[in-house]
Structures are given as C-alpha cells and as structure tokens.
Amino acid sequence: PPIVNYDTKPPPYEAGSNFNQVFAVKSKRWNDWWGIPIILAFLAGFVVVSGIGLNAYSKSKSFQGTGIYSNTNTFSLNTNTVILFVFTTVVGVVFSILWLCLARAITKKFIYFSLICHLIVAWGTCIFYLVMKYWSAGIVFLVFAVLSTWFFFVVRSRIPFATLVLQTVIDATRAMPSVYMVSIIGTVISGLFSVWVSITFVTIYIKYDPNPNNPGCNIDGGSCSNGKLIGLIAFVVFCGFYLSEVIKNIIYTTLCGAFGSWYYCYKSVQGMPKHPALGAFKRSMTTSLGSIGFGSLLVAIVSFLREICVMFRMTAQQDGNIVAVFLLGFVQCILGILDWLVTFLNHYAYSFIALYGKAFIPAAKDTWTIIKDRGLDAIINDSIISSVLILSSTLTAYLCALFAYLFLRLTHPAYNQTGGFYAPVVALAFAMGLQINNITNVTINSGVTTFFIALAKDPEVFKMCYPDIYEDILSTYPKIKDKLN
C-alpha cells in the first residue's frame, strides 16, 4: 500500500476564505529552521564583502573612470566592466519578460518556436565565435549547438502532449493575473540583484588585485594578494548563485501555492481563496523559508561547481591544453546530470512545501513516492516543457554572453588587451542571463510541477473539472489509467 496519505485535499471551506484557511497546516513549527541562519550568514557575508569593494571603488573612482573609456586602470576590471554588466542585465531582463509574453501569446506554437530559435542562436553564436577565432568559446558553443540539434530531433514526437500541458497552465494563469505580476516583480528583483553581484565582482578586482599600480591596495579592507582575490571572487560568485536561487525558489513556492489554489478551487462552489499568491508568499517567507534555504543550497553548490568548470575549460582552451579540455568536459557532463537530478527533486518538493507545509526531505520523499505510485514518472519524463524552458534560459545566456564579448571587443578596454579577461567576464555574463531567465520561467515551471503533483494526488478533481483534458492524458498514456482511477 502507498505510504503517503492521499486524502489531503483542502477540507470544506467557506467562500471568501484565505489561502492559509483553505490549505491549513496542522503544525505551526518552522521547518528546517537552520536553513534561515544559512541564508542570513551568506547575505551578511556578501554585504560586508560588497561594502569593502564599493568603498575601494568610490575612493579610487578617478583612477577607475566614470564611463566606458574615461579610465586610467590598464590592468584590471574597472568602470568599463561595471557598465558592461549593467547592460548585460538589461538584455537578460528584457529578453526574459519578452519570452514570457510570447508563451502567453502563441501558446500552441511556443515550444516549436523556442526550439527553433534556440537552434538558430546556438549555431549562429558558435559560427560567430569561430569566425572571430575565439576558439575557446567557439568549441564550447559548438558542443551546445550539436547537443541542441540532437535534442530537437529526439523530442519532436513529444511536442503535442507538452503543448497540451502548457496550454492548461497558461489557461490557469489567465484566471490568476497576479501570477504574472509576481513573475515580473521577481524578474526585476533578480535583475537588480545581478547588477549588485556583478558590480561587487568588479570592485573585488579593484580592491584586491595585487598589481603594484593598484591604488585599491592602500584603501581600508586589507592588503592585496592573488589568494584573497581568488577566494573572494569565488565567494561572491557562490553567494550570487545561492541568494539568487533563494529568490527564485521563494517566487517558485509562491506560484505553486497559487496554481494549487486554481487546481482545487477554481471550479468549486466556494471559488478561489482570497489572494492565494500573497498567502503562499507569507508561508514561503516564514515557516517554509528554512526548507527553501536548504534546497537552494544544494542547487547552488552544483551550479557553482559547473560554472567554475566552464571557466577553467575556457581557460584551458585558450592555453591549448586539449587533455584538460576533455577532462573538464567530462566533469561538466557529470555535474550537469547531478544538477538536473537536484533541480528535479527541488521543483516537485517545493510544490509539496507550498501546499502542505512539509519540511524539505519529507516533501521530497513523499513527492517521489506519489509520482512513482501513480505512474506519472512516465508522463513527467515525456513532458519536455522543463527542457524547453532550460533551452530558453540557455538562449538568454547565449545572448548575454555574446553581448559581453562584443562589448569587450568593440570598446577595447586596456585591461583586456591580451584577451585574458574574456573567460571570466563572458562566463559571468552567461551565468547572469541563465539565472535571470530561470526566475522568469518559474511562472510556467511552477504551474507544470503543481499540475503533475496535484494530478498524482487527486486525479478525480481534474477529471471532474476538466474531463476532456483528462481523457486526452489517459489516451496518450493508457497504462496509468488504472493507477489514477
């Protein structure tokens, strides 16, 4: 017999009830409470490091310059790089919001459109880098382009079902306009945070670069050394991944609560609870915040290691070290698989956390048990929506990385005369674009995840409210009919 209690539908409630009344949690304890001090510790550490760097930047601004060209710093990142990252963030935010609008406007064609656009940009970026003889980036993007082409031909047969699920989620968002408001606010916040991280990244170079001509070494905050520079850059990049992941998952859990309200309540006699997104947000920021911090930490560690691997691989390609390139490529593939697994478990666990207020590990266990018990693992594996959204995030990352490369190439900053800063700057721009678009895609991802979890737990609700779509799912996957019924 299943070890999970499936009888957890919202109890009878009165019209006008709020989210916490409809999805009441028996225990009021703060789950995984120790995750909150972890969030606060990294945030405090980041604020301190950022303050030291910004202080050094403000006191040496005449040396760093006030514009793209007006600087005398010829050996390290400066105001030119700050402006580069600000524009990169704008590119990421605008493109991410545009992509979300396209998903709503051309839902039935969105998956085909996304895949084809991704292929065009992937191959175009690859060819551009190779023509420009930027071999390290060209080879990396060639691998991406080949894999993307292979993926397109493999998944073509799954597109009709994915379109059906996507249409269901988009229809749900039309019933809840607040979903788009939450997503756009989250995208703007993530963009502002990306600007903060990138400026801190630059100011750490300004403060701790051990070059004898660096005036930052004489400013409060400690002496300069390569060890401090590398260590603090690594810390800033990790904080960027972790804190942006926390932001994303707060938004994700908030939207899972909203979509859960739609699934269970939209066609009920009592109707939707009042302000479901606000109620889910309050739960995310209180009793579930520790669980979000815990899950985000797992993803951030893997993402950080992948980014470091990408940076080292680009450097190895610039140096012509073929053995290191292949070894790092193998490690990158392993980390990619691990990243997919951790992200997969996180997404479905957060849906459970949003609706039922469980701690992270019990939520992850229950989620996996329900999915396997109901046979929905086959549907989830065949649903390519998450993969398409990952490709759209990668597309945004391509554009941000390409913009950063062109900016460096066209403005010719003195610090990059030898090309030594292409790898770290382009890699960070790529990561910024990826994270910004990932946060925007939460709108669709959270809807798809919550739909599958609710369908696995309470299929009769969907069967009664949306019989045509329910029958379409069963006709596509007849093997799960007995398990759902």
Question: Is residue 365 domain-resident?
Answer: yes
Question: Is residue 54 domain-resident?
Answer: no
Question: Is residue 234 domain-resident?
Answer: no
Domain region containing 99: 94-186+252-484
Question: Is residue 424 domain-resident?
Answer: yes
pLDDT reported for residue 4:
45
When divided into structural domains, the chain yields a total of: 1
Question: Is residue 423 domain-resident?
Answer: yes
pTM of the model: 0.85
pLDDT reported for residue 250:
94
pLDDT reported for residue 2:
37
One-letter amino acid at 87 equals F
pLDDT reported for residue 13:
59
Question: Is residue 290 domain-resident?
Answer: yes
pLDDT reported for residue 40:
96
Question: Is residue 214 domain-resident?
Answer: no
Q: CA 404, CA 129: separation in Å to the nearest integer? A: 13
Question: Is residue 288 domain-resident?
Answer: yes
Parts of the chain with a pLDDT under 50:
1-7
